[in-house]
Amino acid sequence: MTTELKYLTLAAAWNAVIWIPYILNLVSVRGLKDAVSYPVDPPAMADWAQRLKAAHYNSVENLVLFATVILVAHLAGASNKATAVCAMTYFYARIVHTVVYTLAVPWLRTLSFAVAWLALLCIFAQILL
């Protein structure tokens, strides 16, 4: 398995588990019955849980782009040292993004998002050039 595919797999695994804490908060705030139904006026989740949910949605949206560039680079034979480093950078930047988004750290949230985005652009460039 290439480094890029390894980090794509890790990114998918990350997205597969980061929903668990906010769902646990939802159950603790609303109770199991209301958590699995559609109550009329439910109590809100904790602020951190709402932010984690938003971070998870953002992560899933960006996973589509990451998976696309990694798979295209792999199939096109464009994988190299730069794409490997960028895949690793993307993965860790997205981990940081999720954590600082959840903890409401504004500057680091934006910086980590930008780092991940630049890593994607780097992989795009390796494919197209």
Percentage with pLDDT > 90 across the chain: 94
Q: What's the pLDDT score for residue 107?
A: 97
- At 42-97, the pLDDT tens digits run 999 999 999 999 999 999 999 999 999 999 999 999 999 999 999 999 999 999 99
Rounded to an integer, what distance in angstroms lies between the CA atom of residue 96 and that of residue 100? 6
Residue with more model confidence, 41 or 14: 14
Q: What's the pLDDT score for residue 32?
A: 93
Nearest to 127 by CA among 70, 81, 84: 70
> How does the average pLDDT of the chain come out, rounded?
97
Q: What's the pLDDT score for residue 125?
A: 97
Rounded to 5°, the CA angle 18-23-27 comes to 160
Question: Domain span at residue 84?
Answer: 3-128
Rounded to an integer, what distance in angstroms lies between the CA atom of residue 110 and that of residue 45? 24
pTM of the model as a whole: 0.93
- CATH number at 14 reads 1.20.120.550
Please report, as a single letter, which amino acid is at residue 110: T
Tally of domains in the chain: 1
